Chains A and B, each alone.
Chain A
């Protein structure tokens, strides 16, 4: 069994014809596409959950989504099916639709996929590769993509990411993306001129984590805090310690700052005698991906932290 790209493209074209016919007179169907989103996932992962995540992404990042369902059994052939994801924005009389292609393939077949996938990539638009399982991070697929997104919370080896980054590929890690709100909180604290002036005297950065070893998120946070402090001449020591996920402390003369998750959905920041509470919900996967899809090019801050963490 194999997949013929021309056949898939014909089926996609036929999809639009049938969508147009289905619509009641006067309404319209609008095709929306800003990229090709190539998603690689283990066959064992619930495809419905993945499609729901992609559906949540569609309004802000419409794409031709190609889901590779990878089966470890080498005898698995290749098969494809084509469908659409549509929604009707509130108050409008037209549907906005994106194309979806699902391809079943064996793990052994992954390196041989580019000749099948390249014709399916939408011309002139970026191709983003979202790899959801460590064993599926095929260099051949990464080479096709303008950006590769992984989640090291799922066990990806960051050494591979570092190598890809050093080789010039654009990479992203959703564990880093999860830290955006926290980093914003810290940046906000140093919006105060007085505190900023004391930053060069910072002596210690403490990052608390849950578990035996600092997870990627803790390492990223620690590396980022160190890099920012060193940028203004500070030489703090970095301490990882067990504690609630995630707590950050910065110590120095006239600088006692702490940020930690308070109740569900909130974070509390203590600085300069002020305690502020900010809404900080745990972002859903599609929210994290949406942030990454909003950054098509390189992220120099992340690249630097990735090498140091």
Chain B
């Protein structure tokens, strides 16, 4: 909400944004139907969007405004608490322009259409360009926007891009250089939707909103940190895309390293976007770059093979549609990272991600050092370490495991778990990550968006692993679907006396 609006009541009102137009390139795609349109509708219905709001979809398919609205209506009705009367009002703000992003003439037509929309909807000449296209088209679209002068106007202009931001450090820098020909860094919003998740944001709240955790948040008290992002499904028809990406690029380079940065970063002096991003960036740049020998010791690549799960045969990755029978793409990646700073020196950060693992779960487990002296030596007494688990999905929450006396005679200890963040798991609907991120982009808040230096720092970490892996030969597949990954991942931790926590 524009500052200076005397009617705004920050204590009671949710965040609102000023009038604007959202231009979605690739509007006929899955992302628009499943995520963007429902998120925008919820924001509109929840009174978060200004009356002067418009959506302009662009895609090659030649349909009319009305046909595009009908298509979105179907998708929105399926994904939200749909109210046809509200939809009717929202739909009046939706427009469509058929066009090919590779056609230079499309952009002047878009400029003309935006002028019409501005006259009708009073969007304040503020425009958010959302690239829901193939990543290979990002540069083309950005340059087209620039050539038509769409990147400048009386209002603000912002560009939102989805991952992947390049496929390695070199391509990430090239993409950034192209985008910067048209937009300033402050105008570019790189989405990592994990950062928009309530529970990832809650890591910052837990660490920096309370005084009791931060004193323990260092090498003196923390034994190791495990970050797991597991999926139980396979590639689900996206084999051709996934084959080009792999788990390392698809998940570790962006989501997991961002989560690790959130867990391990230094406190920022303020909660202003650049303060927080400065600290995340600093952490990413502090991750120890692996030499080839270290890659072999500290990383594991895996690929799922066929298995029978619950009586049902599931194919291996190489049997999935669109995947080459001899594919060398990893569907599982695990790595041990170290952070070269005073806070974390010597503390292993174990990251793992994979498809066709036993369950869908994303969590951070901070394992603390054991008590310096075991004075309770009761028979059957548990001596397991304290564990703080930050569950990101599906059951969001924070739990602390500690030892307590078992009732009765003697001093036998047993672990108990206390949940500190039940508030988000009570069925109260939290905003979706896309609602949060879209609202932030429209409001000009980049806290939850990735900055170019963060992208480059995480590519630098991953590139050294990728280069080694490209030269190694893996005996794929090396884990059956439904298992927790290759045995080598367990061995990697066992070498340090650790074991993966079973989520």
Residues of A within 8 A of B (CB): 30, 32, 59-60, 62, 89-92, 96, 180-181, 183-194, 196, 199, 227-229, 231-232, 262-263, 265-266, 269, 271-272, 274-279, 291, 295, 299, 301
Closest A residue to B154 by CB, please name it. A193
Interface of A is mostly: mixed
Tell whether B1 is near chain A: CB-to-CB under 8 Å: yes
Contact at B7–A186, with CB atoms within 8 Å? yes
Tell me whether B427 is interfacial, beta carbon within 8 Å. Answer: yes
Query: Once the chains bind, are B8 and A299 in contact (CB under 8 Å)?
Result: no
Rounded to whole angstroms, the CA-CA distance of A272 and B119 in the bound complex is: 11
Other 5 A-B pairs with CB < 8 A, given A187-B9, A228-B7, A265-B83: A188-B47, A191-B18, A274-B122, A277-B86, A278-B89
Q: A91-B395, A185-B47, A229-B6 are in contact. Are A192 and B122 (CB under 8 A)?
A: yes
Knowing A96-B422, A271-B51, A278-B86, the reply to whether A188 touches B6 (Cβ < 8 A) is no
A92→B397 CA distance, assembly (Å): 12
Which B residue sits closest to A187, measured CB to CB?
A: B7
Give me 12 A-to-B residue pairs in the complex whose CB atoms sit less than 8 angstroms apart, sorted by A's number.
A30-B422, A59-B426, A59-B428, A60-B428, A183-B7, A187-B1, A189-B51, A191-B19, A228-B7, A266-B83, A277-B86, A295-B11
A145 to chain B, nearest CB (A): 19
Q: Are A232 and B124 in contact (CB under 8 A)?
A: no
A91–B395 CA distance with the chains assembled, in angstroms? 8
Which one of B16, B50, B52, B427 has the highest number of Cβ atoms from chain A below 10 Å of its Cβ? B52
The CA of A263 and the CA of B84, in the complex, are separated in Å by 12
For residue B377, CB closer than 8 A to chain A, the reply is: no
Known: A32-B422, A276-B89. A187 touches B51 (CB 8 A): no
Given contacts A191-B1, A277-B86, A277-B88, contact A89 B426 (CB under 8 A): yes
* Contact code string B408-429 (vs A, CB < 8 Å = 1, else 0): 0000000000010011011110
Residues of chain A with a CB closer than 8 A to B1's CB: 187, 191
**A92 and B425 alpha carbons, distance in the complex (Å):** 9
| A187–B11 alpha-carbon span in the complex (Å) | 13
Distance in angstroms from A236 CB to nearest chain B CB is 13
CB distance from A99 to the nearest CB of B (A): 15
CA distance A90 to B11 in the complex (A): 30
B98-134 to A contact mask, C-beta < 8 Å, 1/0: 0000000000000000000000011010000000000
The residue in chain A whose Cβ has the minimal distance to the Cβ of B49 is A188
Give the residues in chain A near B122, CB-CB below 8 Å.
Answer: 192, 194, 272, 274
Residue of A nearest to B418 (CB): A30
Which residues in B have their C-beta under 8 angstroms from that of A91?
394-395
A180 to B10, CA, bound (A): 11
Cβ contacts under 8 Å, A92 to chain B? 395, 425
**Chain A residues near B427 (CB, 8 Å)?**
59, 89-90
**A interface footprint on B43-87 (CB within 8 Å = 1, 0 otherwise):** 011010111100000000000000000000000000000010110
Residue of A nearest to B394 (CB): A91
Complex Cα–Cα for A91 and B86 (A): 31
Closest 9 CB pairs of A and B: A59-B426, A277-B89, A187-B7, A228-B6, A191-B50, A231-B6, A279-B86, A184-B47, A228-B7
Interface string of B230-267 (1 = CB under 8 A from A): 00000000000000000000000000000000000000
Return A151 CB to nearest CB of chain B, in Å. Answer: 17
B127 to chain A, nearest CB (A): 15
Residue of A nearest to B425 (CB): A89
Q: Are B19 and A192 in contact (CB-based, < 8 A)? A: yes
- CB contacts (< 8 Å) of A271 on chain B: these are 51
By a CB distance below 8 angstroms, the chain B residues around A188 are 16, 47, 49-51
Q: Is B12 an interface residue (CB 8 A)?
A: yes
B2: Cβ under 8 A from any A Cβ: yes
CB distance from A102 to the nearest CB of B (A): 24
